[in-house]
Amino acid sequence: MVILTLTFGTVGFSQIDSKNDSPEWHLYIDSSIVTAQRIIKDIGVQQTKLDTVALRENISTSMADVLTQNTVIFIKSYGRATLSTASFRGTAPSHTQVTWNGMKLNSPMLGMVDFSLIPSYFIDDASLYHGASSVSITGGGLGGAIAMNTKPAIDEGLAVQYIQGAGSFDTYDSFLRFNYKNKGLQSSTRIVYTDSDNDFKYVNYDKKEYTKDENNNITGFKYPIERNKNGDYRDFHALQEFYFTANNNSHFGLSTWYVKSKRGVPVLNLDYRSENSSRSQQDEQTLRTVLSWNKSFTKAKLMTKAGYTYTDLSYSYSGDDGTGTMVKMIHSQSYVSTVFAKFDIEYYLGKKWMFSANVSAHQNSVNSKDDAIINLDNKPVIIGYKKSRFELSSFVAAKYRPSERLGFAINFREEFYANKHTPIIPAAFVNYDLSSDGNIKLKASVAKNYRYPTLNDLYFMPGGNDSLNSETGYTYDGGIEFTLSNKKANLKGEITAFNSNIKNWIVWLPNFKGFWTPSNVKKVNSYGVEFKLKTMVDIDKNWKFASDGNFAWTRSINQDDPVNWADESIGKQLVYIPEFSAAITTKLSWKTWMFTYKWIYYSERFTTSNNEKNTKTGRLGAFFMNDVSLEKNMQFSWAKIAIKILVNNIFDEEYQSVLSRPMAGRNFGFFIEIKPDFKNKK
């Protein structure tokens, strides 16, 4: 049976057992949506909730792919299984705050998150908080915040799921999950392993091969066809979870996530060196664990969490020293650890008031060094820093609904780091139901936010600047949300306009001493419009259709004073921020078959701050991406089996997301999923 699920306005497909294995449509609404508590809690919040189907689309999919295909966030990717960072409403990667089970994922050293290292199959719930709404999650989200969580399974008993994928460029993806649940205890084990040579072919338009006549005169040229060099990767993820419910309705949880990644850094397409003359590689091992407890009362809810993160990150570059011997010229090693604790309380006063408060603490430690530098005396020199920093964040909120159609909320957050603190971070929200049935809603919010410098910003050697100020942002947004439905169709849309002004934007620039250093040099105005539309149609008994689309117009303008008389960056779009972006996912099902089509568009992006258009390297052209898949689901007495064929970039689009980093052309994938049915076994 195929189900269209609509929860808080999200639309998607899922599959369950059926006697006749024929599709049906059902509309599921979480029971908490009709409670006064839920209505109060979401007052004015600009939120995009990713449904389970988007997260489970493909075992080879990372959160970078999910965000690209299903949200208005722009993901700047360096290629398959390489650094992928988020730009939320035209801001920098460090302006998007990310949490996992309540604990920050943003590196205290770098300030950002690599979404290519987060398998979507490890995330059970993900929500985007736009602009001012991020204050309720954490501070520093000048663009927004992304909250990701894992959850216990619903069904009791033993469940096993195995998925095997094989694709182009010798790519193999494997996923295995064991889940056991009884009335009080649950254990869940998930394992993902990905292995790829990633040596796709591409036409290198940055090089030319000349043809000459017998007199050595150039008679023409052609662009060479090359392979993606040094782009292989091996990623292993393991997630172990335990959940326990006590007799007094207390809930305990333990989640431990281990990552081991070994990735080659692909060679630039401008590199003329021979294939074996250099090698860049990034290795990472990360361990994350979160312990949680929560208990619900008649009018209140208490929650506590504690966690620990440890990362061993290594980057090395080896090159030919001129004698044919490979010598390690760069060996950057970083050890990052974080201890985390959080206490949260919610209290409901009748049906009109809700109060909440929380306090969270992070103790960060970074030991970063490069021990491959050689001085003039041919002796190794170790450059780096070793620093610790304590961070504390406190939050209070009051939400009031004087009538069924009107609601107000106000939040306050304050953050402390080392011996400094940010001013109080205020945020205010309002929403009003234009229609009595709640199908048309107006929302608005405003906030002032701060983001303090990372440890690299302050202490990196050489170049760190320990006198940096916190970045300051004012964010305003407002929009309308509507829902139209009948027995056979449902349409939900939302349009939001936003404006954000950020001062003291931290930028790394070269100085007269020959190295780069960060400074508070930019004033940036980011404004635009976000549009989301979801629809489902019950065509007849066998045919069903659903579509999920989003569009964003984003202007992110440098409004700082000129650095000098030749500074042409003022009034120009920030680098690598597309002005227009859009994505649409459509699904068409017939009985046990499902066809999916995904379309993605990004307008041109500039690679220089003055938006140079006259040079070949000054901008990256607009591109469209088209992916299709066909899936067949089969039900047997002993198992459910699904087979999927996937074609990415079906029209073989040639494009780049980052300058001199080629992307894969048309490529294929084949996947088989097996879920043994233990309940039907005698």
State which H helix or E strand residue 163 sits in: strand 157-167
Is the pLDDT confidence value at 7 over 80? no
Q: Are 543 and 590 in contact (CB under 8 A)?
A: yes
Predicted confidence band of residue 29 (pLDDT cuts 50, 70, 90) = very low
Q: Are 346 and 377 in contact (CB under 8 A)?
A: no
Predicted confidence band of residue 473 (pLDDT cuts 50, 70, 90) = very high
Sign of torsion, CA 298 301 302 305?
Answer: positive
- Tell me how far apart the alpha carbons of residues 548 and 537 are, in angstroms, rounded to a whole number: 12
Q: pLDDT tens-digit profile of 105-161?
A: 999 999 999 999 999 999 999 999 999 999 999 999 999 999 999 998 888 899 999
- Tell me how far apart the alpha carbons of residues 431 and 444 are, in angstroms, rounded to a whole number: 6
- pLDDT for the residue 561: 67
What contacts 505, CB < 8 A, 6 or more positions away? 92, 471, 520, 521, 522, 523, 524, 560
Q: For residue 444, give the nearest of 429, 426, 434 by alpha carbon.
A: 429
Average pLDDT of the residues of the chain: 88
Q: For residue 39, give the nearest of 484, 445, 348 by alpha carbon.
A: 348
- Tell me how far apart the alpha carbons of residues 638 and 13 are, in angstroms, rounded to a whole number: 23
**Partners of 608 in the beta sheet?**
none
Count CB atoms within 10 A of the CB of residue 393.
Answer: 21
Q: pLDDT tens-digit profile of 74-83?
A: 999 988 889 9
Comparing 521 with 373, the larger pLDDT belongs to 521
- pLDDT for the residue 322: 74
Two structure tokens written together for 168 = 């182009």
Q: Are 444 and 427 in contact (CB under 8 A)?
A: no
Q: pLDDT tens-digit profile of 331-364?
A: 899 999 999 999 999 999 988 999 999 999 999 9
Pairing of strands 605-606, 619-620: antiparallel
What DSSP string describes 44-88? T--EEEEPHHHHTS-TT-BHHHHHHHHSSPEEEE-STTS-EEEES
Is the pLDDT confidence value at 376 over 60? no
**Domains of the chain, CATH where assigned:** 2-676 (2.40.170.20)
Predicted confidence band of residue 327 (pLDDT cuts 50, 70, 90) = confident
For the residues 459-477, what does the mean pLDDT come to?
Answer: 91
- Tell me how far apart the alpha carbons of residues 138 and 449 are, in angstroms, rounded to a whole number: 10
Q: pLDDT tens-digit profile of 580-608?
A: 999 999 999 999 999 999 999 999 999 98
Q: pLDDT tens-digit profile of 36-75?
A: 455 687 888 999 999 888 898 888 999 999 999 999 999 9
Per-residue burial over 594-619, b if 16 or more Cβ lie within 10 Å, else e, is: bebebbbbbbbbbbbbbbeeeeeeeb
Q: Can you give the three-state secondary structure of 579-602, one letter per residue?
A: CEEEEEEEEEEECCEEEEEEEEEE
For the residues 201-207, what does the mean pLDDT come to?
Answer: 91
Q: What are phi and psi of 123, to 5 degrees?
A: -115, 125
Work out the percent of the chain whose per-residue pLDDT is above 70.
91
Comparing 296 with 679, the larger pLDDT belongs to 296
For the residues 406-427, what does the mean pLDDT come to?
Answer: 94
